[in-house]
Chains A and B, each alone.
Chain A
Amino acid sequence: MKSGVGVELEHLWIRFGDFVAVRDASVKVEEGEFFSFLGPSGCGKTTILRTVSGFQEPSEGRVRIGGRDMAGIGPNKRPTALIFQNLALFPLMKVWENIGFSLEVRRVPRAERRRRAEELLELIALPGQGDKLVDELSGGQKQRVAVARALAAEPQVLLLDEPLSALDLKLRQHMRTELRAIQQRVGLTFIYITHDQGEALTMSDHVAVMREGVIEQVGDGKQIYDDPATAFVASFVGENNAFAGTVKAIENGHAVVATAVGDLPARIATAARGALKPGDSAMVFIRPENFAIAEKGAGGDNRLAATIANEEFEGQSYHVFLEGEGGTSIKMSLTNKGQARTASAVGQQVTLAYSPDQAVALPTGAMADQE
């Protein structure tokens, strides 16, 4: 099996008439890594994938695979294999014929195709299932057959277009682990498209977060989650409480932002260093799990007063919905360690505390739609 190669997008623009699907996207995917494009539907991530696979020509800019410019090279000539969202397995062919199709195209003899398909069935843990029809397999098995079929072409880059979206939750979580394991076994470059941040964060070495055709941030999962580059990334990836306000002071990489719930100190995101100055409008993002209930009446900058409005119990954690000053709704998540729940305290006023290092200050910008 060939090893993976890197993929570079250089100032990629893709337009459909007046509509700009991708705006000046530049990304470097390292060889052999699991790279995800994450974003809401319509953000241009599928268009990028189709451009890498060769089904879409860029309006401007360049795609390089393994350093080679791909302009004018069709999808059947590229070292990529695409796994479609609906898998697009051939329903009239047996499983092994599906897997062997790319070899059939290259006129590999039937016996050799059969042998190769059996090897790949072994790899995806479906040995001896080659003679079944595609529709006799379960959703997860079809999924794996699609991976095997793509691998049979010996691509250097595997492109996956939300292949898990049709599966139920349990299976999806299982397939995440499985896909990651296959990727590490075969050592290919995987480019993965998803709107599911859980998938992106668990599987990927690097994630590019997209909004309206623009790549907002590229980083590993922890960077994306803990140090978002824009208000959109902060609100799209994971849950976040957003407090809009005006920068009051800046000191030591921290900003104090005057908001409806009071002055909130927060660390300035790496990407926003130098971009915020006093008087600017800014947002402070505090994740629900970074709040704690403080002793009542204690003062300090990193505190805010709120009234408990509701509680949802989820098992491993529970979510407390509060109302801050000016009617701001706040969500707090507490890990269930057997402590008393807050449900009995609805209507009670509490003080929330957080560490300013775990809060992020960013310039005001577009936010993700609440789902």
Chain B
Amino acid sequence: MGIAATARRFIATNGLGMALFMVLGVSFWVLVLVVLPQVTMVDFSFRPKLPPADIGGPLDQYTTANYEYFYRGHPGNPEGWNRVDMTVFGRTLIAAVFVTVFNFIFCYPVAYYLAKVATGSWARLLALSLVVPYWINEILRAFAFRIIFGDAGLINTVLKTLGIIDVSIDFIRADVALYAGLGYAYILLMIFPLYSAIESLDKNQIEAARDMGSPWWRIHWRIVMPFAKQGIVSGCTMVFMLSAGALAAPQILGGPSSLWFTQIIYQGFFEYFNWNRGAAYAIILLVSCMAIVLGLTKLVGGKAGEIGR
């Protein structure tokens, strides 16, 4: 059946007004909200930073200078490579992977428990207790973590009172607060895809495996995780993308010496007012993250289209 026939049938059932609204609405969304900003960013990233007077002038030529800056630094940089930006970039991606793995290890048992073990009002209460903290603004939550992990914060106070430590541990400098805050920020985005995937697994399959003598870890490895693969992929993708692209948590919880790549992008835009380099960096981050996600998805045999499920 062709597009024309589908369109005719849609108009016949829903009316011309509805059809027009759908076409215009979707076009607006796709073109104005998705395509145009991205195209603008790409365009920006390939232009030099110029005073407003020169924009559109003879100097405004397409260039890869902004991208070259990422790996080479200033022209005449004695080191030969942009050590700060590239180290931060690498560390951000590794840290985002770490946050994702940590998140998965924590969330999988919780999701499994919610989906297959807890029942009735107890399950609903648990789900609610997971959601309630998210009624608070993300920035306030980050500050709460700062207080909990601070020098005179909850954890240090408890440890000192119990006599386990004498001197406060600097969780902020050690980036513990940052990882915990990032992990916590995206718990729901990990738990819910896992939950909905595991929930639809037939409980008899778990029992059948158990009946055949399988220990619990093999049941998870061979039955539950393969079944929940799409949920795992989509949860991990979201957490990874959002951790790598987070700004508020690193700003508030990052140690004095640690920098998140998004902070460099932010600096590009708002401190150096170099929107062109900021755009180039943003695109470098976006493309790298997508490459990592698509690569991993391919590795576990899922399809990229399943990420949204």
Contacts and interface: CB of A to CB of B under 8 A. Distances in A.
A152 B218 CA distance: 18
A53 B204 contact: no
Interface string A97-126: 000011011100000000000000000000
B202 A86 contact: yes
B213 A102 contact: yes
Interface in A23-63: 53-55
Contacts of B84: none
B213 A88 contact: no
Nearest to B226: A92
B212 A76 contact: yes
A112 to B, nearest CB: 16
Interface stretch (A8-16, A77-85, A282-290): A77-85
A262 interface: no
B211 A75 contact: yes
B210 A75 contact: yes
B213 A105 contact: yes
A53 B211 contact: yes
A162 to B, nearest CB: 12
Contact of A88 (B204, B214, B218, B222): B204
A101 B207 contact: no
Interface string B197-235: 000001011011111111100100011001100000000
Interface size of A as a range: 20 to 34
A243 to B, nearest CB: 44
Nearest to A106: B213
A75 B208 CA distance: 9
Contacts of B213: 76-77, 102, 105-106, 153
Looking at chain B's contact residues, the main secondary structure is: helix
Given A76-B213, A102-B213, A105-B214, A84 B208 contact: yes
**Chain A binding surface SS class:** mixed
A102 B227 CA distance: 19
Interface string A176-201: 00000000000000000000000000
B223 A84 contact: no
B205 A76 contact: no
A236 B222 CA distance: 43
Given A88-B205, A90-B205, A82 B211 contact: yes
Given A102-B212, A102-B213, A90 B207 contact: no
A88 B205 CA distance: 5
A82 B226 contact: no
Contacts of A149: 212
A76 B208 contact: no
Nearest to A55: B207
A165 B205 CA distance: 18
A92 B211 contact: no
A93 B227 CA distance: 10
Interface in A264-299: none
A84 B202 CA distance: 11
Given A84-B204, A86-B202, A92-B227, A101 B211 contact: no
Nearest to B203: A88
A88 B226 CA distance: 15
Contacts of A80: 211
Contacts of A54: 211
B279 to A, nearest CB: 43
Nearest to A85: B204
Given A90-B223, A92-B226, A105 B207 contact: no
A105 B222 CA distance: 10
Interface string A335-364: 000000000000000000000000000000
Contacts of B209: 90, 101
Interface in B114-151: none
A84 B222 CA distance: 19
Contacts of B227: 92
B204 A101 contact: no
Interface in A63-82: 74-77, 80-82
B300 to A, nearest CB: 13
Listed from nearest, the 6 A-B pairs whose CB atoms lie closest are A88-B204, A102-B212, A88-B208, A76-B213, A84-B204, A105-B213
Given A76-B215, A90-B222, A101-B209, 7 more contacts: A53-B211, A55-B210, A76-B210, A76-B214, A77-B213, A102-B212, A106-B213
